[in-house]
Amino acid sequence: MRRVALSGLLGTAVEFYDFLVYGTIAALVFGDLFFPGADPAVGTIAAFGTFAAGYVARPLGGIIFGHFGDRLGRKSMMLLTMTLMGSGSFLIGVLPTYGTIGVWAPVLLVALRVVQGIAIGGEWGGATLMIVEHAEHSRSSRRGLWSSFTQLGGPLGSVISAGVVTLLSALPDGQFRTWGWRVPFLLSVVLLAVGLFVRLRVAESPLFTQAKREPLDRTPIVEVLRRPKPVLLAACVGIGAFTSQSLLTGFMISYAVGHGYSRPQVLTAVTVASCAALLVLPVASALSDRVGRRPVVLAGAVLSVVLAFPVLALVNSGSPGLLILALCLGLGVAQSTMYGPLGALLTEMFGTRVRYTGASLGYQAATLVGAGFSPMLASSLLAAYDGSSTPVSLLLCAGGAITALTVWRLRETHTDALDSAAPRAAVPSQARTSS
């Protein structure tokens, strides 16, 4: 279990490192380097547009790798997705800018983001399923706690990416724009090598090995979409966590720098908040093993709505200390409480033979809606409303509200057995007895 959990942690850390490095660098310099000549606000929106392109590709990756993961196995897909992610990030690090190759620079940037998005679309599902299914096979009653290792990769990747970018942002502006921004992308090769070394030593999921003896009549995606309700519920329940994550990391860097904070101050705040998340995530996940997934996720969603306006007010104060407090509350506490139990919850909503496809599709659809378009939408609203933070707070409220309302439509799953090969129906909580 420790080796499997470590493999999931490293995979998600690579995923979030790559994506958050891009979001951070996009907020700082990509508008000038890849979209020169545009109004600064338009350049930032365009840079976040390429950020969204990676998210648009994620559901496709969930379908592709989910299909082969449910057909061939979890382990081989985990190795392939990690390789594609790390390679895509490295290639962004050596990509010529607009000043060198013209319009091909943004075209290639978008293409590499799409490749990354497809790979990441299959990464989370494989890593999480391996952990949860191994925990079930070992008769562990702590599926939520074990699955939190995958979720911990998010703040860990954020800490690493923010730390690396913070160090490099101390360079003179000319050096950072010339070569400093490339270093974080090139360093992803190190995480890739460590992750592959660990994953090569992990055994295939025992639940998948058993369930594979029962052939599916249809392809996994067809089987899942025949009963789309679990996928829709899985997507909606994750929107709040991803909206908060996206707005309070990559977008917040651009927003806070525009409000007078220095880059090191903002990156330090993101790093401290991510460290707080490393503490809150396993606590929330372990608590969900005791009281259930629904109450914990609901508590995080309600807290996210309640804190939406106070968090932006603290950021607008101009105080570096209050900026740290704001991100610790919004990202380290509220978002982490929603996100911690999500891995166990989504895997428990599907049967073994379609679990990779179903959980991946639901999760990646949530990232697309919650995280993919939020920075671009928030940047557009800021430009339209003369820099007012109210639209950003309303976006945070909307994400938390969608998650809270969806939780009411879910039944509790933390005591369910996972050895069923058939797809599960995520029935409303009121129908729990009849189910």
Least confident of 332-336, 363-367, 383-387: 383-387
Q: Is the dihedral of CA 426, 360, 346, 308 positive or negative?
A: negative
DSSP output for 63-87: HHHHHHHHHT-HHHHHHHHHHHHHH
Closest CA to 199 of 83, 88, 85: 83
Residue 41: pLDDT band (50, 70, 90) is low
Q: Is the pLDDT of residue 258 over 50?
A: yes
Q: Is the pLDDT of residue 433 over 80?
A: no
Question: Is 253 in contact with 24 (CB distance < 8 Å)?
Answer: yes
Q: What is the spatial distance between Cα 80 and Cα 102, in angstroms, rounded to a whole number?
A: 32
Task: Tell me what pLDDT residue 57 has.
Answer: 84
CATH of 2-208+218-429, one of 1.20.1250.20, 3.40.50.300, 2.130.10.10, 1.10.3720.10: 1.20.1250.20
Buried b (16+ CB within 10 A) or exposed e, 384-420: eeeeebebbbebbbbbbbbbbebbebbbbbbeeebee
Q: Is the pLDDT of residue 422 over 60?
A: no
Least confident of 159-168, 223-232, 312-321: 159-168
Element (H, E) at 431: none
Q: What is the spatial distance between Cα 258 and Cα 261, in angstroms, rounded to a whole number?
A: 7
Q: Is the pLDDT of residue 43 over 70?
A: no
pLDDT tens readout for residues 270-284: 889 989 999 999 999
* Whole-structure pTM value: 0.81
Mean pLDDT calculated for residue range 299-312? 96
Residues in the chain: 435
pLDDT tens readout for residues 47-72: 666 666 777 788 888 889 988 888 88
Mean pLDDT calculated for residue range 301-327? 95
Question: Is 8 in contact with 153 (CB distance < 8 Å)?
Answer: yes
pLDDT tens readout for residues 366-385: 988 888 788 878 888 888 88
Closest CA to 382 of 374, 368, 372, 392: 392
Q: Is the pLDDT of residue 216 over 70?
A: no
Residue 299: pLDDT band (50, 70, 90) is very high
Least confident of 5-14, 66-75, 115-124, 202-211: 202-211
